[in-house]
Structure 1
């Protein structure tokens, strides 16, 4: 962001850099970082944030008097303000699409496409994305001519500071298991991920009924409330958080010591995003994935991608190492087919 801010011409009362992010939380995070940077500028640089759930009329009135030099926001509100003729972005020098794959996943790519069509052909476009899905490629081909592609490859898929556990839920109550895992140790900050708003609500209610102080984050919570909860989490008012993948993509919550996948993400690419919330800044972290027999194929796929799991179970109130779930298969591959009458030896 620093090079983009550095090229802003302070004497021009016009939008020069536009940044879109797929969620209000991400836009807020970028906005706060930008404010910290421009605080060191020799002269004032005007920054404005445009996200849904805020006072649109007030923003329209402010734009009549003055344009920001750096505009940050979610695609829907940014496009709305531009279509109203209030946010004048057509002279911008640079357009940044942050978390492009998440923008696609959440269905906001058409809005980003319309925003991009308002710029001149000389616009500098920067697209940041954890992955490049096939459905994102037509957009990239449409707007990027002979692009320079920078791919940052990590040494390992998961940080070496993360212990990556795999625990079977077969014959167990999943929510009770989550409660046990959260209370066996003393997590500094634990995040439990689920796939739907409804399941987040269900897990949250169960844990609260067990006496835990739990925050929840998902798209069904009003923007103002989500912002308040995020602030409380960052201030460590909560030790336990239950969330959908909204919290896994780009949102920076410091100090997460434990991540629990209450269920595998439907899109396995999200597995890295979830687990990557812990083990940051060389601090130790623990990621725990709960699975049942129907998840075997997804676990196999993650292992093919290079994810290494440590099989664990809870026994006598402790988390201990257990057998590899593929031990029978591996024994057969190593020693040949086991006779049915000898199967008990495994």
Structure 2
């Protein structure tokens, strides 16, 4: 599959049963809802996918199941978040073997690598595979920034093709375009900056609340790309209180609770995460319930 880094790519949650097994039935319900809404790819095993808690075998099952569900309609991308270069290379090899079409690649985990170490890490992985790669640049949550100078070093690797831009600095979209033209595809990785990023030239949106609200997410993207900014803004303003649930340390619990409200998920998480409780749960539920009750009628954008 020729992977096009564009459009809405949900960073899907991993569904678990009450007894902490993979819930592939609910997972399939959600993936089909994403496809019906018109998403452009599926990303597995990211932060929202509780990547750090998944076993290698669970990652295999998720890749194979997703490939089976999508039936070639959209690409399947797996996140790689490893502590060593050796493990990351093995993960990339496994991803291809299991049928994934691309990789989303975080800097090394735990050890705070410097710029040279981080760049070499990316190079080693790119050299080990022919799979297309999107670099996940999220210094806020992961402590390492992939700078423009580092992207300059990486541009000679043809399979490093895109960046998930999560620095929270929207001007980076313009900086990347000014320096590299169309060499790198840019996908916004922060829900609350998505419309602005797409309007400034980002190619796509790695989305979180799409897990619960796929049609609204796709509508915003398609309307902005069609130049129908006013209509997109109306939906975006409705969406913003919900999108803010994504920029929180308990984004997984928040978004899974939203999936329950829209009927395409459960709220089971893997410990040490726990479902929301008390006043925190009440506050998040109020936001979700208000959003569901006032869900907008979407314009025709197809």
Q: Normalising TM by the smaller chain, what interval?
A: 0.3 to 0.5
The structure whose residues are more often helix, as a share, is 2
Computing the radius of gyration from Cα coordinates, the structure with the larger value is 1
The structure whose residues are more often strand, as a share, is 1
Structure with more contact order per residue of length (Cα contacts < 8 Å, sep ≥ 6): 2
